[in-house]
Chains A and B, each alone.
Chain A
Amino acid sequence: MTINQNKTTLVVTLLRVLVGWHFLYEGIVKLYNPDWTAYGYLATAQGPMKPLFNTLLHEGTMPWVDTLNMAALLIVGVTLLLGVFERVGAFIGIGLLALYYLAHPSFPGLPQINVEGNYWFVNKNLIELMVCTLLFYYPTGQYFGINSLKKRKAIKTVEK
């Protein structure tokens, strides 16, 4: 079986745009809502990492946690959508999703809070995390994205 390189690239590029879209929208909604806070999400953390997440719940630390989370979401969204520094974006995305997963892991025995489906170890956060890993190893910015302009510029320079 041969892999159609072009179609694979097209599908991965689309995947990149969709993940970027998702992150950006989450970031924007938080950016425009000053009352938003991750307090509730962290306060209800479950599983082995619960104590770690609960230590963040201080008056002094919460604004930092909220701002960093929002900024990270925006960075991942912008880089993946525009196809620039996309590997940095994918890497940050992996980190964020790992934190989301660990705060509310879909482990058997833990009550599933605020989920719309049924999960056993694997949930949507984990799947999106793996997608980000794919994007990290399979950058597509040179086909669709600002990186393609950079590449072009580099070729032109060499031709001179």
Chain B
Amino acid sequence: MKWTRRDLLKGLGGLPILGAVWWAGAATTVDKRKERTEILETLDIQPSLPNTYQGFSGKPINVGIIGFGIRGEQLCRALGFATKEWMDEMALEMEENPNDKRLEDFLNQEKLNINLAGVCDIFDMRAEKAMRSFSTDANKIKRYSTYQEMIHSGAIDAVVIATPDHWHAPMAIEALNNGVHVYVEKPMTHTIEETYRLREAANNSEAVFSVGHQHRQTLSFKTAEDIVNKGTLGHISLIQTNTNRNDDNGAWNYEMAEQANEQTIDWQQFLGTAPEIPFNRNHFFRWRKWSAYGSGLSGDLLTHDYDRLNCVLHMGIPEAVMASGGIYTHNDGRNVPDVLQVNMEFPQYSKGSSQIKGKERGMTFCYSASLGNSFNRPTILMGHDATMELGNRLTIWPDAGSTRFAEMLEDGKMNPSIPIYQYDPAANSPDAISSATSQYFADKGLMWTYVNGVRVDSTFLHMREWLGVIKNGGKVSCGIKEGFEEAISAHMAGISWKLGKRIEWDPEQEIIKPIEDIDFDGVLLSNEILNFDFINVS
């Protein structure tokens, strides 16, 4: 057997090609990974892991729900209690769209060691729905006709408050003064005066107080905090957050139940301290549209965006707030704006700088909202060195004028149009240089937030945290300090819009700087749109 050179060439000619392709593939991939590792090492970001959570056992916590409307029902589901009506509706939705996992997610939700013991709703239909849905042979849900009766009953350890805004503080204070734990929806309060009283009550009470800003459980926000603290973005001078809605539900024009009348609704209890007016279904179901009961965009939705950023930046109460806007998209008798722009000034804000000392300090937080357009404007943190889009996912782009990344930008290792970091709690690993593909997948919502492989609702996590602290001690993530900052900031925005004036905070005395002849709470509650310099509503 003898092979000629020609035989060998024909027989083994493929080998050098194989070697070349192998080398090229390996070299390119290893190089890319090296560049990526270099960027990741420069950034040194620690993606956050789910909180370790200690369950609670022993005697179940007796929870009472005050307000069983839209949000009240959602909160009950987070506690593990869904109405039959909702389950049937979700089963139908799932039949139509197998990708609708809401029912499945609810059924898979971890069971909390609680006992839903009582309901307080001034509308018979809602209270009866709760009793019908959640009563079992072993546990009859009791209806209380007033919140005082529930709090003083001795049968309730903790209350969940999901009422119109003007009832948040009175109920929370009453509960805290009587040692009953409180979970209250946002905004924490309706007036400035009660914000201080609630803070005092919470500080003096042994009971655990939590404000319903469930986004504090979002994993990406903890990573975002690490990113900001490490100076990845450089000095942040501007934050843009937005509300973009364009539908009846989003504009608070909720459905009005036919059964609602003076016989089925305790109208006087609904009004409380609000101005006396005859029974009005529109006001009862769509209370968010009037400042006598609700707080409009500044209390309802700005609070979410403010607290989202406050949990990342801890910027506290702004030194000054200016707001403008109007009723431009839903001129239906409401007196809260449906288009609102709020600028909050934080002149002392600084988390370090990549430039010469003293050059950078201060930040504006800009909230822009419309109930007449739903184009998705993301939340953007704008720093000297990079820009971060903040959501369930995080994406960071280097800035062309960055000092910190100047060298890497010049070497072509970074490009202002290509993200240098993307965080997705559902992805296998953080992606330094995001491809168009992974961007696409994430944008389509195909990658959910998973905790130990299960998709979970952040409201569930937030309530579980509150209940866990009640049983095991510890600290809630949105307690009275955070709630106080949220409420004051929102009220400053509300007053500024109504007066058309710049509203300032005095951090030393912890008061809103007084304006002569103006009663701020009177302005907040007023059903008039003021906008006059000379008005005196006290």
Q: Which residues of A approach B to under 8 Å, CB–CB?
A: 17, 20-21, 24-25, 27-29, 31-33, 35, 37, 39-40, 43-44, 59, 77-78, 81-83, 113-114, 143-146, 148-149, 152-153, 156-157
Contacts and interface: CB of A to CB of B under 8 A. Distances in A.
Interface stretch (B28-36, B182-190, B192-200, B233-241): B28-36
Nearest to B29: A32
B1 A32 contact: no
A149 B21 contact: no
A21 B22 CA distance: 9
Nearest to B12: A146
A28 B14 contact: no
Interface string B413-446: 0000000000000001101000011101100101
A24 B22 CA distance: 7
Interface of B: 1-3, 7-8, 10-15, 17-18, 21-22, 24-26, 28-30, 32-33, 428-429, 431, 436-438, 440-441, 444, 446-447, 453
Contact of A39 (B11, B18, B33, B428): B428
Contacts of B32: 33
Contacts of B453: 59
Nearest to A59: B453
Contacts, number: 90
A36 B71 CA distance: 42
A24 B24 CA distance: 11
Contacts of B17: 17, 21, 81
Contacts of B440: 44, 113-114
A145 B7 CA distance: 10
A83 B14 contact: yes
Contacts of A81: 14, 17-18, 21
Contact of A21 (B11, B21, B431, B441): B21
Chain B at the A interface: SS class:
helix
Contacts of B446: 40, 43-44
A62 to B, nearest CB: 9
Contacts of A20: 14
A58 B43 CA distance: 31
Contacts of B2: 156
B26 A32 contact: yes
Contact of B25 (A17, A29, A43, A82): A29
Given A25-B25, A59-B453, A114-B440, A148 B33 contact: no
Contacts of A59: 453
A152 B14 contact: no
A108 B175 CA distance: 61
Contacts of B18: 24, 77-78, 81-82
8 contacts: A24-B22, A44-B440, A77-B18, A81-B17, A81-B18, A149-B7, A149-B11, A153-B1
B429 A35 contact: yes
6 smallest beta-carbon distances between A and B, as pairs: A28-B25, A32-B29, A149-B11, A82-B14, A81-B14, A156-B1
Given A24-B22, A156-B1, A145 B14 contact: yes
A44 B17 CA distance: 35
Contacts of A37: 428
A40 B444 CA distance: 11
Contact of B437 (A24, A28, A114, A143): A114
Given A24-B22, A77-B21, 19 more contacts: A17-B17, A24-B18, A25-B24, A28-B25, A29-B25, A31-B25, A32-B25, A33-B33, A35-B429, A40-B438, A40-B441, A43-B446, A44-B444, A81-B21, A113-B440, A114-B437, A114-B440, A146-B14, A152-B1
A43 to B, nearest CB: 5
Nearest to B436: A114
B429 to A, nearest CB: 5
A63 to B, nearest CB: 10
B441 A43 contact: yes
A27 B29 CA distance: 11
B3 A149 contact: yes
A114 B435 CA distance: 11
Contacts of B3: 149, 152
A144 B24 contact: no
B213 to A, nearest CB: 31
A151 to B, nearest CB: 9
A59 B26 CA distance: 27
A16 to B, nearest CB: 9
A112 to B, nearest CB: 12
Contacts of A33: 29, 32-33
Nearest to A143: B10
A136 B10 CA distance: 20
Contacts of A24: 18, 21-22, 25
Nearest to B438: A40
Contact of A40 (B10, B33, B437): B437
A146 B17 CA distance: 13
B180 to A, nearest CB: 42
Contacts of B10: 143-145, 148
A147 B15 CA distance: 13
Contacts of A78: 18
Contacts of A25: 21, 24-25
Contact of A146 (B11, B24, B429, B444): B11
B21 A28 contact: yes
A60 B431 CA distance: 22
A35 B30 CA distance: 12
Contacts of B441: 40, 43-44
Given A21-B21, A114-B440, A153-B1, A82 B15 contact: yes
Interface centre among B25, B33, B441 (most CB of A within 10 A): B25
B405 to A, nearest CB: 23
Contact of B11 (A27, A40, A44, A148): A148
Interface centre among B10, B26, B28, B437 (most CB of A within 10 A): B10
Contacts of B438: 40
